[in-house]
Amino acid sequence: MNVLFLCTGNSCRSILAEATFNHLAPAGWKAMSAGSKPTGQVHPRSLALLAREGISTQGYASKSWDNLPATPDIVVTVCASAAGETCPAYLGPVLRTHWGVEDPAHATGTDEEIDAAFVTAYRILRARIEAFLALPLDTLSQDKQKLKEELDRLGSLIPEQQH
Q: How many CB atoms lie within 10 A of CB 14?
A: 32
Give yes or no for residue 106 having a pLDDT over 70. yes
Catalytic residues: 7, 79, 87
Q: How many CB atoms lie within 10 A of CB 84?
A: 7
Number of domains in the chain: 1
Give yes or no for residue 143 having a pLDDT over 50. yes
Whole-prediction pTM value?
0.92
Residue 15 within any structural domain of the chain: yes
Residue 160 within any structural domain of the chain: no
Largest CA distance in the chain: 47
Burial of 148 (0-12, 13-18, 19+ CB in 10 A): middle
Residue 162 within any structural domain of the chain: no
- 60 φ, ψ to 5°? -85, 135
Q: Residue 147 is part of which domain span? A: 2-155
Residue 115 within any structural domain of the chain: yes
Residue 123 within any structural domain of the chain: yes
* pLDDT for residue 161: 62
- Residue 120's domain is classified under what CATH number? 3.40.50.2300
Give yes or no for residue 163 having a pLDDT over 50. no
Q: pLDDT, tens digit, for every residue of 26-77?
A: 999 999 999 888 999 999 999 999 999 999 999 999 999 888 889 999 999 9
Residue 19 within any structural domain of the chain: yes
Residue 163 within any structural domain of the chain: no
Output the CA torsion sign for 36, 96, 11, 65. negative
Q: What is the mean pLDDT of residues 3-23?
A: 95
